[in-house]
Amino acid sequence: MAKRSEEQFNEDTWRVFRIMSEFVEGFETMSRLGPGVSIFGSARTPRNDPYYRKARQLARMLCERNFAIITGGGPGIMEAANRGAHDVGGTGVGLNISLPHEQKANPYADIQMDFRYFFVRLVMFVKYAWGFVCFPGGFGTLHEFFNSMTLIQTGKAQQFPVILFGRSYWRGLSDWMDRKMLHNSYRKIDPRDMGLFHVTDSLRETVDILERARECRQAGGPCPDSMKPTAEGTLPGLPARVYFRPNGRK
């Protein structure tokens, strides 16, 4: 048992260096990007799907307004967004994830990175994006959406636009949040939390929201230290503390 514990410790130590290397490479690559928009959505979206065409068109429109496009690097909606950036000579980033059943990177991203750890990849989406657009997707898209809600709601990130594109797809989730999480007998969120995201079918409205947010961000003056993002792209919050029980355990 002691031998296994030592082996586990050694494995975890080396894992720290792998995690560190992914952060360093990500920071060095993404820091030169400029204003970016993370576009999420299902890898299972076929090329003849209307949402594929809309994601491609949205990426074109954003690149024409000097936004970079950041995706998960795979097929479906991710490919559509990188392809739209490629169409107009814009900058498209693909942050691919290594999976047991390998996700094949799409060929349209100008900047491609491979990640072993989902949480490192998620930091890159948040830190270097000035807004999120979520097209219809599965668990991964929901993860990215609710992660943004958590960061903004808890004050760990300055509020940035989070847009759910496709009313027919997202209306059920939005209605459930309003009916169950906000109202009824549960009351798990605040009424203001329903304003942290926007649901739309309009490409023009999506672009306008992102452009206004960029203008506000660029016009902002110096902020106090408590509002300056950390290296991970979140706000610092209270200092972390580690408590030990009398027997030495945490």
- Between these two residues, 243 and 187, which has the higher pLDDT value? 187
**Distance from the first to the final alpha carbon of the chain:** 21
Residue 73 has phi, psi (to 5 degrees) of 80, -5
Percent of the chain residues past pLDDT 90, beyond the cut: 74
What are the strands of the beta sheet with 111-115, ordered from one edge?
111-115, 92-97, 68-71, 36-40, 132-134, 162-165, 198-200
- pTM as predicted: 0.85
Name the pLDDT band for 232 (thresholds 50, 70, 90): low
Name the pLDDT band for 230 (thresholds 50, 70, 90): low
- Average pLDDT of the residues in 48-58: 98
Strand-pairing partners, residue 114, are 96
CATH architecture of 14-227: 3-Layer(aba) Sandwich (3.40)
Q: Say yes or no to pLDDT of 226 above 80.
A: no
**For position 248, what pLDDT does the model report?**
44
Task: Look up residue 43 and give its two tokens.
Answer: 């890898």
- Average pLDDT of the residues in 38-65: 98
What are the extents of the domains in the chain? 14-227
